[in-house]
Structure 1
Amino acid sequence: MVKKAMLFLLCLFLITLAACSKTSQTTSDGRINLDYWVLFGGGDLGYMQDIVSEFNESQDEIYVNIILQDFDDYYTKLVTSVAANRGPDVAVSHAATVPELVNQGLTTPLNDLAGHVDMDFNDFYDNLKDAMEVEGEYHAVPIDSHPFILYVNTDLAEEADLLDENGQPIIEETPEGFKDFFMKARQALPDKTGIAITTGGLDVYRWWWTTYFQMGGTPIFSDDLTDPEITLDQDIAVEAAEYVHSFFGDIIPMHLSDPYETFQSGNAFSLMTGVWGTGIWENADLPFTAVPYPQLFDVEAAQGGSHTLIMPIKEESTDARQQAKMEFIKYVSDSGLKWAEAGHIPSKPEIVESEPFQELPYRSDYSSISPYIVFTDSTIYQSAAETDMTRSLDEIMAGRLTAEEGIKKMVHDLEVTIR
C-alpha cells in the first residue's frame, strides 16, 4: 500500500510538472509564442477563441495559445504560477481583482508599453480608465464593461399588456413605478415568477449596489490600496437593502434554485443579472428584450464589472516579447465589436458609437449606462469585502436579520476584514 501511495504521488507530481511546464518561446516557424489564460465559460469562450484566431491569422510574427482555466480556482492558479515564474504571458483579470494582483507584485505596469503600440488609455470610458489605475500606473487594459441589467420575456410582457409600441417594457422610472411594473405582471400572470433571482448571492448584491449608489451612497472604502477606511453610508445602505427586500414574497419567490433555467423555460416574466445573458438567450431563441436597470433615484448609477487583460511579470521576458504581448492586448481591446456579440459593452466609446455596434440588437439599448457604472474601490480587500457584503445581504433577504441589523453586521465584518 505504501508503494502504491508513493507511486500515486510520483505520478501526480509528474502530471503537475508537465502541466506547469513552459511553452516554447517560439513556434516551429519562428513566431513569438504567447500563452493567454482565460476564465470564460459558456458562450463567452467561443467569441474570445474567434478573436485569438483572427489575431493569429492577421500577422505572421506572433502566435497566441488560448488556455482555459477553471473559474473556481483561477486566481489561485494565476498567483501561484506567476510567483513560480511559470505564469502566462497575458491573462484575463476582473477589474476588481487587479489591485490585489498589483499589491502582490505580479503585474507589469503598462503606461510605457502602451505608448509603443499607439494605445491611449484616454480612448476608454473615463470610469473604466480610472478603474485600471493603481497608485498612479495602469496595470490592466479593459476589454469591456458588463453592467447589471433587466431581461424581460416579451411574449409574457405582451400577454400582460406591458410593452409599448416599440416592444419595450412600460416602466415608470420611480421606486414605486418599478415595483408596480412587476406587480402588474404578477396579477396578469399569477402562475409565473415575477423576477427570477435568488434570495441571496451575487445578483442580489449587484441589485443592492445599484440601488445604494442611485440613492447617493458614498464609496465603500476610502482611496487607499492597503489601509482604507470604511466610508459606507450606513443609513443609505439600510434604505437600499429595505427597497430590494420589499420585492421578495409577492414578486420574487423565496429561495429560487435556478433563476436562469426558470427564465429560459418561460416560467419567469423577467430576470436581473449581467449582460452575459444576452448571448445565452439569443442562442436559446428565447423571446426577450434586454434593457438597462432604470434610474429610480437621484443619481444615475449602475453596478458592473470589467474584464481586463494584464501582463503578468516574467523574468525571461525580452523587449520583443513585451512588445508582442502589448500588440495582442491592443488587438483584443480593439475587437470590442466582436466581443460585444457575447453581450458585453465594448470598453471604447468609439466602438459603442459606431454604426455596426448600434445595429446590434439589445446591446445598443443598454450600452448607454456604461459611463455610469460604479466600479469597486481600488483596494486589496475588495474580494473579501464582496463576500462580507453578500453574506450580510443574504441574511436580510432571507428575513433572518432586519436591514438595520444586516448592515451593522456588514460594517462589522468589513472592519474585521481590513484590520
Structure 2
Amino acid sequence: MAPPLELSRRRFLTGAAALAGTAFLASCAGLPGGSNARTLQFWHLLSGADGVTMSGLLDGVNAAQSDYRVRPTVLAWGEPYYTKLAMAAAGGRAPDVSIMHASRVVGYAPGGLLDTWDTGRLADLGVDSSTFTDAIWRKGFIGDDLYSVALDAHPFILMYNTEICDAAGVLDSDGKLKPVTSPEEFLEMARAVAAVSESHGLSYGYLGDGAQMWRLFYTLYTQHGLEMGLPQGGPAEIDEDAALASLGFMQQLLDDEIASRSADYQSAIAEFATGRSGLFLTGVWELRSMQQQDLPIDATIIPTLFGTPSVYADSHSFTLPHQSVPDETTRDLVYRFVADILKGSFDWAEAGHIPAYLPVTQSAAYADLLPQANYAEAAELVRYDPPAWFTGSGSRFQADFGAAVQNVLLRGADPAEAITRFRARIDQQLRTPNPADPEGAGA
C-alpha cells in the first residue's frame, strides 16, 4: 500500500529501506570468478523465459573477462520491484545497476532516486545515439540528461498460424499476411480466419487485465498520428474522436466470432497455443513459449489501420540507482558491463525482444532470425506510455484504464462514458504531486 500523500515519500522510503536488504542478502551466495574481480550488484525483474535468457547473458559476460563479476538479484515484477528499488536508492543500499522499464523512469528521476549516465563514457565504449533508433535513444532522456539505456524494445504484435491463415486465403504469395490498411479490412480478414478456425479467428485476452487493454488501445490511438499529453496539474490531453474510434474498433473485434468477449490473458494464450485460432494479439515476450508448441507461426507488426504506422511498446532499460558516493572503479565497470550486454544481446533477440543496439539488429544473423526479423521495424515505430510520474508498465495508470473501459468490451457499454471516467481519473492524478519528488515538481 502506498503511504499517505501527506507523508514525505522520501522519508517513507528511507525509513523502509532496510526491507530491501533481504533481497540484497539473498543474492550473496558464492559466485565463481577470479579473486581480483570486482563484484557488480545487479537488480532486475526478469523471470520465466526472460529470466533464463538473462542468466545466459550474464554467464557470457562473466566468462568473457576477469575484471568484474555480475551478481544478480531477481525481484518480483511490477510494483514490488519498483518499491524496493526506490527504498534501496533512498536508503543508501542501492545496487550498482538495475533494470527498469523505460516508461517508469520519469517517475523516479525527479526525486534523485537515479543517477545520470555520462554519454561521453558510453560513447567511448561504442554506445551512443548512432547505435539506437531515435525513438528508443531519446526515451532514455529527461530534459538533457540520460537516465536509462535501453536493452530492447518489446512491442505489442500480431502472431499468426500460417496453416490456418493459408486455409482462410489471407496469405500472399510469400506466405505472409496480405496487407490491410483499414479497420474494415482487418475485420474482413479476421472473419475469414474465424470461418476456418476451431474456436475463434483471433485470440486476445483482456479480461481483468488493464495492461492488455491499454496495449492495444494505445497502438490504435497513436495510429491516428497522436499521442496523449499528461501535463502536471492537468488536464489530460486526449483526442476524443481518436479514443472513440479505437475503442469502437476493439468492440467490433470482441463479437464472440472474431474474438471471445470474455477471454482473459491465459485463456487467449491457451487458445492460440493449441491451434484453435489463427491470429493472436500479444507481446513479443510470448514468442518463445509459442515456438515451444511446435506451431506453424509467423509474426508481424499490428497493421496500420488508422493512417500512421505506430506500435505500443516498452523497453527494459539499464539505470543507475542513486549512490551518494559511488565508487568510480565500480562505476566504470558498470559502464563496461552494460556495453558488453548490449553488444552480446543476440540471444535476447532469440527470446522475442528486439535488441535496442542497432549493430545487433542490423547484422546478417539477425536478418536470418525468423520470425523476429519480420517485426524488427517496430523499433522505428515504438510509442511508449505518455510520460507522467504515475504511468508505465505495471503501473496503476494501466489498471485504471482497464477499470474504465472493460465494460465497453465485455458488455458493449458506451465508449464515450468510459473515456470520460478515464479522463476524470487521470486529471485527479495529474493534480497530485509526484510523491517521489521532494520538490513537488512532478514529472
Shorter-chain TM-score above 0.5: yes
Q: Secondary structure of the equivalent of 2:294?
A: coil
Aligned 1:19-34 pairs, distance under 5 A: 19=25, 29-34=35-40
Compute the displacement of 1:194 (Å).
2.9
Q: Which residue matches 2:170?
A: 162
2:364 to 335, 355, 360: 355
Distance 1:27 1:350, change over 3 A: closer
Distance 1:364 1:26 in 2: 36
Amino acid at match of 2:332: Q
Compute the displacement of 1:103 (Å).
2.1
Q: Which residue matches 1:91?
A: 98
Amino acid at match of 2:358: P
2:425 to 393, 397, 413: 413
Higher mean C-alpha displacement, 88-97 vs 333-342: 333-342
Task: Give yes or no for contact 2:57–2:345 (8 Å, CA) kept in 1.
Answer: no
2:400 to 375, 385, 388: 388
Moved over 6 A (4+): 12-15, 20-28
How many residues align? The count is 405
Q: Which residue matches 1:111?
A: 118
TM-score, length-normalised on structure 2? 0.85
Amino acid at match of 2:57: I
RMSD of aligned C-alpha atoms? Answer: 2.6
Q: Secondary structure of the equivalent of 2:411?
A: coil
* Residue 288 of structure 1 pairs with residue 300 of structure 2: no
Q: Which residue matches 2:147?
A: 139
Distance 1:23 1:98, change over 3 A: farther
Q: Deviation per CA, 1:70-112: give whole Å up to 9, x if none.
A: 1141111211222222222111100111111212311110035
Q: Deviation per CA, 1:282-335: give whole Å up to 9, x if none.
A: 222222111111111211111111110111122352110110111111112222
Distance 1:25 1:121, change over 3 A: farther
1:370 to 371, 379, 386: 379
Task: Give yes or no for contact 1:214–1:297 (8 Å, CA) kept in 2.
Answer: yes
Percent identity between the aligned chains? 22
Q: Which residue matches 2:108?
A: 101
Compute the displacement of 1:190 (Å).
5.5
Q: Which residue matches 2:216?
A: 207
TM-score, length-normalised on structure 1? 0.89
Q: Secondary structure of the equivalent of 1:239?
A: helix
Q: Secondary structure of the equivalent of 2:253?
A: coil
Distance 1:287 1:21 in 2: 40
Q: Secondary structure of the equivalent of 1:276?
A: helix
Distance 1:177 1:330, change over 3 A: same
Amino acid at match of 2:193: A
Distance 1:14 1:209 in 2: 34
Distance 1:192 1:377, change over 3 A: closer
Q: Secondary structure of the equivalent of 1:331?
A: helix
What are the ranges of 5 or more consecutive residues in structure 2 without an aligned counterpart? 1-17, 432-443
Amino acid at match of 1:151: M
Distance 1:26 1:46, change over 3 A: closer
Higher mean C-alpha displacement, 137-146 vs 368-377: 368-377
Amino acid at match of 1:280: S
Q: Deviation per CA, 1:228-276: give whole Å up to 9, x if none.
A: 6421112211111111111111311121132111211222222101111
Task: Give yes or no for contact 1:196–1:252 (8 Å, CA) kept in 2.
Answer: yes
Distance 1:230 1:46, change over 3 A: same
Q: Secondary structure of the equivalent of 2:229?
A: coil
Distance 1:388 1:404, change over 3 A: same
Q: Which residue matches 1:194?
A: 202
Q: Which residue matches 2:237?
A: 231
Task: Give yes or no for contact 1:25–1:33 (8 Å, CA) kept in 2.
Answer: no
What are the ranges of 5 or more consecutive residues in structure 1 without an aligned counterpart? 1-11
